[in-house]
Structure 1
Amino acid sequence: MGKEILQLENTNANDFKNEIVKDVTNALKGYAETLQNPDVNKLLSRQETADLLGVSLVSIWDWTRKDIIPAYRIGNKIRYKKNEVLEALQKHNKFNK
């Protein structure tokens, strides 16, 4: 595999260090939250997803078809990752802006 070269311009060593520390801290916070709440990566059925969101199965199907919420096909079953469903809702929340 070839070398990858990273070229930095218009930054000093301290700013560069602070950016790295900030990104590592954010990554560790996300990892810590996952460890504290293992339920967040749980796979949900269509019905569980509909119950979680308080909507009908028709709405879940429509949102899946429109790529509003990501879905996974496992055999002949459709599953949703709980954390991705909740993130998708935040992203599409018109009142949260």
Structure 2
Amino acid sequence: MKQSILIQQASLSDIEAVVRKVLDDILDDLKLQKSEDSIRLLTRTEAAKMLRISLPTLADWTRQGMIPAQRIGRRVLYAISDIENTLEGKKGGRKNG
């Protein structure tokens, strides 16, 4: 069953304030979700699959500094945000410098 709300005496500025607050809350939730996703780390295999490259190419790119890696013990891991940044660079084409 649908609930209805009847607004009788609300000024336009009151309604704008409520809508603005709701939108701010939604944007804050989206920012938090995005920051949590970007912190997630991928294994070498997952990163290579996401970039659609081979493991040796991923190792080369890491050595060249094209994509930063994080070492935790013996494991080499990649942040999703770094993978996404690399993908954006691939879309625009790599520039030879």
Note if 1:80 corresponds to 2:86.
Answer: no
Structure 1 residues 77, 84: closer, same or farther in 2, change over 3 A? same
Report the TM-score, using the length of structure 2 for normalisation. 0.57
Q: What runs of 5+ residues in structure 2 fail to find an aligned partner?
A: 1-26
How far 1:34 moved relative to its partner? Answer: 4.3
Q: Alignment partner of 2:53: what SS?
A: coil
Note if 1:42 corresponds to 2:40.
Answer: yes
Report the TM-score, using the length of structure 1 for normalisation. 0.57
Match 1:67 to one of 65, 68, 76: 65
Deviation string for 1:39-79 (max 9, x for gaps)?
33210000000111111000100000000001000001100
Aligned length: 69
How far 1:31 moved relative to its partner? Answer: 7.7
Query: 1:52 matched to which residue of 2?
Result: 50
Structure 1 residues 33, 73: closer, same or farther in 2, change over 3 A? same
Q: What runs of 5+ residues in structure 1 fail to find an aligned partner?
A: 1-28
Question: What percent of counterpart residues are identical?
Answer: 31
Structure 2 letter corresponding to 1:53: L
